[in-house]
Amino acid sequence: MASESSLCLVASTYRSTVRLATYRYELRRRDEIVATGHLTNDEPLRVGQSIKIGKHEGVIQTIEPLLLDRELRIVVQLRDDF
């Protein structure tokens, strides 16, 4: 039989794995796409939220599902555009 502490570790690991959200991002400067990539986050992101990806800071403008994919697409408008 598993000990209580090992069960807590499994439950904690399972919870954190389930909560990871996966995104495909576009960093934009006005209408120009300057970078794309993938990221995961512990908590779901939301429109209007500030985000830093690498050295770039911006605000999430759009979050939408991708057809036939588990990732969500986010569009981030870079801060120097505000």
- Summarised one tens digit per residue, pLDDT across range 23-76 is 999 999 999 999 999 999 988 999 999 999 999 999 999 999 988 878 899 999
Domain that holds residue 26: 21-81
In a domain, 13, yes or no: no
> Pick the residue with more confidence: 6 or 59?
59
DSSP state of 43: S
1-5, 15-19, 22-26: which is most confident: 22-26
Q: What is the model's pLDDT at position 10?
A: 46
Does residue 5 belong to any structural domain of this protein? no
The total of structural domains in the chain comes to 1
User: How large is the C-alpha radius of gyration of the chain?
Assistant: 17
Whether 81 has a pLDDT exceeding 70, the answer reads no
Q: Is residue 4 part of a domain?
A: no
- 72 vs 2, higher pLDDT: 72
